[in-house]
Amino acid sequence: MAALLGFSKSFTFFRQIRSVNSQRRAWLAAAALVWLSSLAGPALAQTSPRVKFVTTEGSFVVEVYPDKAPKTVENFLQYVKEKHYDGTVFHRVIDNFMVQGGGFDANYVQKATRAPVVHEGREALAKGGSKNVVGTLAMARANDPNSASSQFFINVKDNDFLNPTPNAYGYTVFGKVVSGMEVVNKIKSVPTGAGGPFPSDVPKTPVIIKSASLVN
């Protein structure tokens, strides 16, 4: 009986040790998951490319969304990588509307571009993309909806009439300003008039894009 009692106590003791070890392993596994999550978190949190524009009025950063308008974003980023925007100007600035640039140098000579990109406005909205609201980045184009090339604009107010609808192509929104909107607001407020081939809306003192570069 004493032997059986001793065995019972030993069994209970080893079972307690095993339970403690299991708890310790579970705690270590949980701690490892938390540590790995802390490492992965920042990388997963910022998956959208960002581009920093340095201008004569200051700097701002835009974030673009390839999941909403993949061809438009690819086209825009290719121009960024090619340094196409460096030295170009905001040639069309209208307070309470938008600021437009990316097509002309400081002498208002139009820069050569690649083939135009297909219009993705409706598709982007269908995927949950943004409308033409304050701070959003969209492609400028001619009357042909598939004529956008390098020129872009930033909305400085909510411009509902630019949104794609079943009856109108509208303008493709593919990003937004995430930092430096105060600089965009400075640009929208500069004095304008005639300049180069344009009869109006041209900044009297050129607003030059010194550089546009990927920041992540």
The CATH number assigned to the domain holding 201 equals 2.40.100.10
Q: Are residues 184 and 150 in the same domain?
A: yes
Q: Confidence band (pLDDT; 50, 70, 90) for 186?
A: very high
Q: Are residues 41 and 88 in the same domain?
A: no
Q: Average per-residue pLDDT in the chain?
A: 88
Q: Are residues 162 and 146 in the same domain?
A: yes
Q: Are residues 40 and 62 in the same domain?
A: no
Q: Are residues 208 and 109 in the same domain?
A: yes
Predicted local distance difference test score (pLDDT) of residue 216 = 76
pTM over 0.85: no
- Compute the distance between CA of residue 185 and CA of residue 177 in angstroms, rounded to an integer: 11
Domains in the chain, number: 2
Task: Kindly tell me if the per-residue pLDDT of 27 is higher than 60.
Answer: no
The average pLDDT across 42-47 equals 52
Indicate if the alpha-carbon torsion angle 158, 162, 164, 170 is positive or negative: negative
Task: Kindly tell me if the per-residue pLDDT of 5 is higher than 70.
Answer: no
- HEC string of 92-109 equals EEECCCEEEEEEEECCCC
Domain span at residue 164 reads 50-214
Q: Are residues 67 and 152 in the same domain?
A: yes
Nearest-CA neighbor of 148 among 72, 66, 67? Answer: 72
Q: Are residues 87 and 56 in the same domain?
A: yes
- Compute the distance between CA of residue 132 and CA of residue 157 in angstroms, rounded to an integer: 8
Using one digit for the tens of pLDDT, what is the confidence trace for 132-157? 999 999 999 999 999 999 999 999 99
The average pLDDT across 89-116 equals 98
Q: In terms of DSSP bridges, do strands 98-105 and 209-214 run parallel, antiparallel, or are they unpaired?
A: unpaired
Dump strand ranges (E) for the chain. 50-55, 58-64, 88-94, 98-105, 136-139, 152-155, 173-179, 192-195, 198-203, 209-214
Q: Are residues 60 and 38 in the same domain?
A: no
Q: Of all residues in the chain, what percent carry a pLDDT higher than 70? A: 79
Contacts of 150 (CB under 8 A, 6+ apart): 79, 84, 85, 102, 103, 111, 113, 114
Check if the beta carbon of residue 172 is closer than 8 Å to that of residue 186: no
Q: Are residues 57 and 32 in the same domain?
A: no
Q: Are residues 75 and 4 in the same domain?
A: no
The average pLDDT across 152-173 equals 98
Q: Are residues 60 and 166 in the same domain?
A: yes
Q: In terms of DSSP bridges, do strands 152-155 and 136-139 run parallel, antiparallel, or are they unpaired?
A: antiparallel
Q: Of all residues in the chain, what percent carry a pLDDT higher than 90? A: 78
The average pLDDT across 55-60 equals 99
> How far is C-alpha 113 from the chain's CA centre?
22
Task: Kindly tell me if the per-residue pLDDT of 59 is higher than 70.
Answer: yes
Q: Are residues 14 and 109 in the same domain?
A: no
